[in-house]
């Protein structure tokens, strides 16, 4: 395979029609047989991949931040799912969106890609497409549980997710930092695959619009504090960052292996051979 084919595979599996702003091919390659895949990769990992004879290094997390904010606009979809209009939804995310735009001016965006070019090391990163595979998997699992048991509690939802691979072998447990396990799961929004979590503003807007349970990969302590001070009706479930990322990455690694590539995983990913 070449890097174009691998990018197309990621887009196809996640339902994207073009390369999103948080992903890219930073140095193309062809005749790829051995691939190294991890959550985080920078200059050191590029050199290691080169020294170990890999044909391609794939990172999950973005290596340049110029287009990252565009992916945060996906939060609008979650807010619309709860019945909000586009303009109202944009207002909810306004402050964070601006912070992400400003961050694009701060970051030295070409640092890691420039190292890949210097080394001549094929390198790409796949962020939101793989998170979207993970989001759809969690969504399907939640829908199946609620179809079987419409009055399932948050605790039952958490226990069900905990049985899923890779949550059942993750270093962290799925938690309910806001609300109670005894609450009804009810209307659930799986707030994953939108650059980063929507923090307090998105969770508040969802709860105010009748969503009972919000799922995030993670939440910052200051956002959780605001949520607790708000006293809003609702529950927040956090599945864990690396565990949540593993979900989509494992699926992608398996797809590459099915196509005959030798894939070694590192940096938070440990995809069992089938």
Binding site for Fe ion (CB under 5 A): 131, 245
Q: What residues form DSSP beta bridges with 57?
A: 36, 123
User: Is the bond into 97 cis (omega within 30 degrees of 0)?
Assistant: no
Distance CA 203, CA 207 (A): 6
CB of 134 to Fe ion, least distance (A): 7
Contact 57, 78 (CB under 8 A): no
CB-nearer residue toward Fe ion: 212 or 245: 245
CB-nearer residue toward Fe ion: 40 or 159: 40
CB of 88 to Fe ion, least distance (A): 27
CB-nearer residue toward Fe ion: 34 or 61: 61
Question: Residues 158, 161, 162, 166: is their CA dihedral positive or negative?
Answer: negative
Contact 129, 10 (CB under 8 A): yes
CB-nearer residue toward Fe ion: 234 or 240: 240
CB of 158 to Fe ion, least distance (A): 20
Burial 88-117 (b: 16+ CB within 10 A, else e): ebeebbeebbeebeeebeeeebeebbebbe
**Six token digits for residue 35:** 């691939």
CB of 128 to Fe ion, least distance (A): 8
CB-nearer residue toward Fe ion: 32 or 126: 126
**Residue bearing tokens 């990172």:** 59
**Residue bearing tokens 């961050």:** 103
CB of 100 to Fe ion, least distance (A): 15
CB of 241 to Fe ion, least distance (A): 5
CB-nearer residue toward Fe ion: 242 or 261: 242
């Amino acid at each position: 395979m070449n890097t174009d084919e691998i990018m197309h595979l990621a887009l196809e599996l996640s339902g994207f029609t073009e390369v999103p702003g948080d992903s890219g091919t930073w140095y193309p390659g062809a005749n790829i047989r051995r691939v190294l895949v991890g959550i985080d990769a920078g200059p050191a990992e590029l050199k290691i991949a080169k020294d170990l004879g890999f044909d391609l290094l794939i990172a999950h997390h973005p290596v340049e931040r110029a287009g990252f904010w565009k992916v945060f606009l996906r939060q609008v979809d979650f807010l619309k799912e709860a019945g909000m209009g586009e303009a109202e939804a944009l207002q909810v995310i306004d402050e964070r969106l601006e912070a992400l735009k400003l961050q694009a001016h701060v970051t030295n965006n070409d640092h890691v890609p420039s190292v890949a070019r210097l080394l001549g090391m094929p390198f790409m990163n796949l962020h939101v497409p793989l998170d979207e595979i993970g989001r759809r998997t969690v969504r399907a699992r939640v829908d199946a549980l609620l179809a079987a048991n419409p009055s399932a509690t948050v605790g039952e939802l958490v226990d069900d997710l905990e049985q899923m691979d890779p949550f059942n072998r993750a270093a962290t447990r799925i938690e309910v930092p806001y609300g109670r396990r005894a609450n009804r799961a009810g209307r659930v929004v799986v707030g994953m695959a939108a650059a980063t979590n929507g923090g307090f503003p998105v969770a508040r807007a969802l709860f105010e619009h009748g969503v009972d349970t919000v799922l995030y990969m993670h939440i910052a302590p200051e956002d959780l504090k605001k949520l607790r001070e708000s006293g809003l009706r609702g529950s927040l479930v956090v599945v864990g960052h690396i565990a949540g990322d593993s979900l989509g990455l494992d699926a992608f690694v398996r797809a590459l292996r099915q196509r005959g590539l030798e894939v070694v995983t590192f940096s938070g990913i440990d995809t069992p051979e089938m």
